[in-house]
Amino acid sequence: MTKTPVMMLYPLDRAKSFSTKFLFIGKALSKILFSLEFDLQKAELDIDPERFALAALFSAMIYGIIFVFVGLMFGVVITKSLGGTTILISLALGVMSFLAILFFHLLTPKITANQIAKLVEQDLLFALRTLLIQISSGMSLFEAMRSISRSKYGQVSKEFGDAVKDINAGMSESAALERLAFKTKSEIFKRTIWQTITTMKSGGSVVTALQSEVAALMDQQEETIQNYAAELNLWTLIYLIIAAALPSLGVTFLVIASSIGSSGIGKGAIIIIAILAITIQAALILVIKSQVPKVIK
């Protein structure tokens, strides 16, 4: 069973049963992002890019219809009538929403792959330290990787588990690691694997290679945390402006404009402004939360 992305309204399992005569549409859409096939693999979504693109198209159409009705509802509440302008604006909102959601769906595999990469990097330092200790104590690389795969290192354990399965299936250690390097989206993990492979093929010490990678990873994580602390001040300022200043100024402006135009501002308009302000604030909080380095637990 293929897991459907959270915001996609069309199940990917149902998309697998699409008729082949419609796949030309999905094939054309999939060419918008040439890396879609590889992103699907790295996001662990077992579906063809053509069928995924068709599912994205149908989901975006549903969103477009929903936003048309939402626009009509808001238009009626604000203007207290259903005029031609309200209908045109609602249709434009639906079309723009359709295009935006479609592009977002097509980017979802890349976003998911990047999230998986961050999950890998969250536990990578601890896993590499354990791997280094075990190999230094005389354990073979395969036994050390199998030990990591059975430990609680999140996505890192799963990645090593895939390599262990390949080795058990008859693949050599270097070939299994190469496959893992091509699969992972984490550049840090990819670099570590390639350095290990190069050391193995050259007859060097894997322990020395892992020691240098652990030291480099520690320095990089410290720099990431320092950069996030500096960015957090800017995000705090933006949140205060959006959460406090803009809603107050917006309501004040509407009151002044309505008094000049001899028309009152209704309760519905105030409710809509409040809902929009809360929605924007919630979205901003989610954005700030997504910027937290995964190395912080």
For the chain, the domains span 12-118, 119-205, 221-290
Which phi-psi region, left, alpha or beta, contains residue 290 (left: φ > 0; alpha: ψ -120 to 50)? Answer: alpha
Question: What is the rounded average pLDDT for all residues in the chain?
Answer: 82
Q: Which of 204, 199, 165, 159 is nearest to 182 (CA)?
A: 159
Tell me the average pLDDT across 191-207.
Answer: 86
How does pLDDT run across 254-271, given as a tens digit for each residue?
Answer: 777 666 655 556 666 677
Tell me the average pLDDT across 212-226.
Answer: 83
Collapsed DSSP state (helix, strand, coil) of residue 3: coil
**Burial (CB count <10 Å: 0-12, 13-18, 19+), residue 53:** buried
Q: How many CB atoms lie within 10 A of CB 147?
A: 16
- Vertex 231, ends 226 and 232: CA angle to 5°? 95
Residue pointed to by tokens 């999140």: 154
Q: Which of 278, 285, 270, 267 is nearest to 244 (CA)?
A: 278
Amino acid 61: pLDDT: 92
Alpha carbon separation from 113 to 154, 209, 246 (Å, rounded): 15, 26, 35
Given a cut of 70, whether residue 1 has pLDDT beyond it is no
Q: How many CB atoms lie within 10 A of CB 83?
A: 11
CA separation for the pair 144, 132 (Å, rounded): 9
**pLDDT confidence bin for 207, thresholds 50/70/90:** confident
Is the CB of residue 192 less than 8 Å from the CB of residue 206? no
**pLDDT confidence bin for 82, thresholds 50/70/90:** confident
How does pLDDT run across 137-171, given as a tens digit for each residue?
Answer: 888 888 999 999 998 888 889 889 989 999 999 88
Amino acid 13: pLDDT: 78
